[in-house]
């Protein structure tokens, strides 16, 4: 058996889907003044709706690759009295502080990741889910992402080139034997980055390529002998045995010049994500931080666990 092959797992949510043309990223916090029993009852409706929307999308528009994925944060997991012990690595994300930049920690009880080829479909799913949530939760982050050319970020470079495919995609994204109680689940980590495009554009293409570690036009990675040690590709990629599945999308408001990247990844272990963030923000070695952070500032940072579809079905009743 290939080392990147899973054993039999329970039915996962749509964490393995590829980035689509239109995306909604929504973070919600549960309302504090509602009784736990009421929250639990309302959440049953949300679990059922997520299942329904995914089934409906597959049946009605099978070629649209539309889906929605629900993640649940540490504190919400406890408040809702979901199964214990918790997923082994589910915790409140703790900020990672380097000498110059910080991977901030922000609140988040629930996260919805919605993808579709048509904006109308993505919008309708987001609206239905928001209508379900509005009586017992508050939306604290809403980002609408879009595909930019050939999967590039607003910085102009292709994003996600190192993503695993095939059996390796499952292996690195979905929990298996490392936590048998939660097989079929996935760790979901998100960050909203804002880019300083004026500073970025001022340094020119050659320096931009040194920051990223790849060619801008053709997306060719520099050799290790040439690639700067503080380039993004040198620090964000931490080895063939430590990969994640990225689903980043650009977003922005040109009038306010708030352009950025919503970083989202699925992983079978959060420790892999944490190691990557430490390399980027603290540096490897310490002080050799990821140069892209001089142009991209993390405004949010939150960790969630994505239960399997079978678990959602059980909880929906």
Distance in angstroms (rounded) separating the CA atoms of residues 40 and 281:
38
17 is catalytic: no
Domains and CATH numbers, the chain: 22-196+243-269+296-316 (3.30.70)
Q: Which two tokens stand for residue 180?
A: 């048998």
Q: Is 184 left (phi over 0), alpha (psi -120 to 50) or beta?
A: left
The reported pTM is 0.96
- Residue pLDDT, tens place only, 154-209: 999 999 999 999 999 999 999 999 999 999 999 999 999 999 999 999 999 999 99
CA distances for 199 relative to 7, 193, 202, 234, 296, angstroms: 48, 15, 5, 22, 10
Whose tokens are 């009852």? That residue is 41
Query: Which residue among the candidates 2, 109, 159, 294 is catalytic per the annotation?
Result: 159
Say if residues 304 and 182 touch (Cβ distance below 8 Å). no
Query: What pLDDT tens digit does each residue of the chain (317 aa) get?
Result: 345 555 555 799 999 999 999 999 999 999 999 999 999 999 999 999 999 999 999 999 899 999 999 999 999 999 999 999 999 999 999 999 999 999 999 999 999 999 999 999 999 999 999 999 999 999 999 999 999 999 999 999 999 999 999 999 999 999 999 999 999 999 999 999 999 999 999 999 999 999 999 999 999 999 999 999 999 999 999 999 999 999 999 999 988 889 999 999 999 999 999 999 999 999 999 999 999 999 999 999 999 999 999 999 999 99
């Amino acid at each position: 058996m290939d080392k990147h092959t899973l054993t039999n797992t329970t039915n996962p949510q749509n964490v393995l889907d590829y980035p689509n043309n239109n995306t909604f990223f929504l973070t919600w916090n549960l309302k504090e003044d509602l009784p736990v029993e009421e929250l639990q009852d309302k959440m049953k409706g949300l679990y059922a709706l997520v299942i329904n929307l995914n089934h409906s999308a597959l049946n009605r528009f099978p070629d649209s690759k539309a889906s929605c994925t629900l993640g649940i944060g540490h504190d919400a997991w406890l408040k809702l009295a979901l199964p214990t012990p918790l997923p082994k690595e589910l915790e409140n994300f703790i900020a990672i502080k380097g000498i110059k930049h910080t991977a901030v920690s922000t609140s988040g009880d629930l996260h919805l990741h919605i993808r579709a080829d048509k904006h109308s479909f993505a919008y309708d799913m987001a609206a239905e889910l928001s209508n379900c949530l509005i009586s017992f939760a508050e939306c604290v982050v809403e980002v609408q992402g879009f595909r930019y050319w050939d999967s590039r970020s607003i910085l102009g470079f292709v994003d996600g080139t190192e993503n695993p495919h095939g059996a390796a995609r499952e292996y690195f994204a979905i929990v298996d034997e490392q936590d048998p109680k939660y097989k079929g689940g996935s760790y979901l980590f998100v960050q909203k980055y804002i880019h300083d495009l004026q500073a970025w554009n001022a340094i020119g293409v050659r320096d931009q390529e040194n920051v990223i570690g790849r060619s801008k036009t053709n997306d060719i990675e520099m050799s290790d002998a040439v690639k700067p040690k503080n380039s993004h590709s040198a620090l964000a990629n931490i080895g063939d045995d430590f990969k994640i599945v990225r689903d980043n999308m650009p977003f922005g408001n040109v009038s306010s010049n708030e352009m950025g990247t919503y970083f989202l990844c699925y992983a079978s272990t959060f420790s892999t994500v944490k190691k990557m963030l430490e390399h980027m923000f603290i540096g490897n070695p310490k002080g050799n931080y990821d140069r892209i952070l001089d142009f991209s500032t993390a405004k949010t940072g939150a960790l969630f666990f994505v239960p399997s579809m079978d678990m959602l079905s059980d909880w929906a009743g």
